[in-house]
Amino acid sequence: MNLGLAEELLARDPEAARGLVAEARTSAGTALSELRDVVRGIHPPVLADRGLAALALGAALPVDLDVDLPGRLAPPLESALYFTAAELITNAARHSGAARVAVRLRRTAETVRLTVSDDGRGGADPQRGTGLAGIRRRLAVFDGRVRIDSPAGGPTVVDVELPCES
């Protein structure tokens, strides 16, 4: 609403319009922060019950799952990794022509690392579409790092590294 009002005021009262734009920016920042808090709090029941091993359940492709964690991760981190891996598995099923996906999860004292690879045709490009770019944005909240290797002809390998408490 503030942006609409600012647009109407722009020609006749630029200073008032500038104030409404500043207020809209502040409101948008607050809303984004609140949305991130909500997203961090989402924890699917299957994840709560089975942990990250739930990734292989109901996947569109066969999943070779290799999880080596000394225990459960903090719920926000676990949710972020679950949704990231689920999206990568879905991407492989929809776009790569893959027959299988491998998901590997490891934790050190400082980081947790997720590697998702498929045997598809490659060519995954974060500049096209919103899936891979969305993963990067989602994990940036956790100061995560995403590396995508997807040469034409395949395979696609996505490495995710997130800091975690020891």
Please indicate, yes or no, whether residues 87 and 132 belong to a single structural domain of this protein. Answer: yes
Domain of residue 135, CATH code: 3.30.565.10
26 is in which domain, residue-wise?
Answer: 2-41
Please indicate, yes or no, whether residues 17 and 58 belong to a single structural domain of this protein. Answer: no
Phi, psi (5° rounding) for residue 112? -125, 135
Please indicate, yes or no, whether residues 54 and 136 belong to a single structural domain of this protein. Answer: yes
Nearest CA-CA partner of 96 in 104, 88, 86: 88
For residue 39, is pLDDT > 60? Answer: no
Of 44 and 154, the one with more pLDDT = 154
Cα–Cα distances (Å) from 54 to 47, 51, 148, 156, in that order, read 6, 6, 23, 22
- Structure confidence at residue 42 (pLDDT): 60
Please indicate, yes or no, whether residues 27 and 51 belong to a single structural domain of this protein. Answer: no
Distance of alpha carbon 132 from alpha carbon 138, whole angstroms: 10
Among 17-26, 31-40, 62-71, 119-128, the minimum mean pLDDT is found in 31-40
Per residue in 119-133, pLDDT tens? 999 988 888 866 888
Please indicate, yes or no, whether residues 87 and 150 belong to a single structural domain of this protein. Answer: yes
How many distinct structural domains can be found in the chain?
Answer: 2
Please indicate, yes or no, whether residues 130 and 51 belong to a single structural domain of this protein. Answer: yes
Please indicate, yes or no, whether residues 66 and 8 belong to a single structural domain of this protein. Answer: no
Please indicate, yes or no, whether residues 65 and 80 belong to a single structural domain of this protein. Answer: yes
Identity at 101, one-letter amino acid code: V
Please indicate, yes or no, whether residues 98 and 27 belong to a single structural domain of this protein. Answer: no
Instruction: Reduce the DSSP state of residue 30 to 3 states and report it.
Output: helix
Please indicate, yes or no, whether residues 138 and 119 belong to a single structural domain of this protein. Answer: yes
Instruction: Reduce the DSSP state of residue 130 to 3 states and report it.
Output: coil
pTM (predicted TM-score): 0.70
Greatest alpha-carbon span in the chain:
64
- Structure confidence at residue 151 (pLDDT): 94
Please indicate, yes or no, whether residues 89 and 142 belong to a single structural domain of this protein. Answer: yes
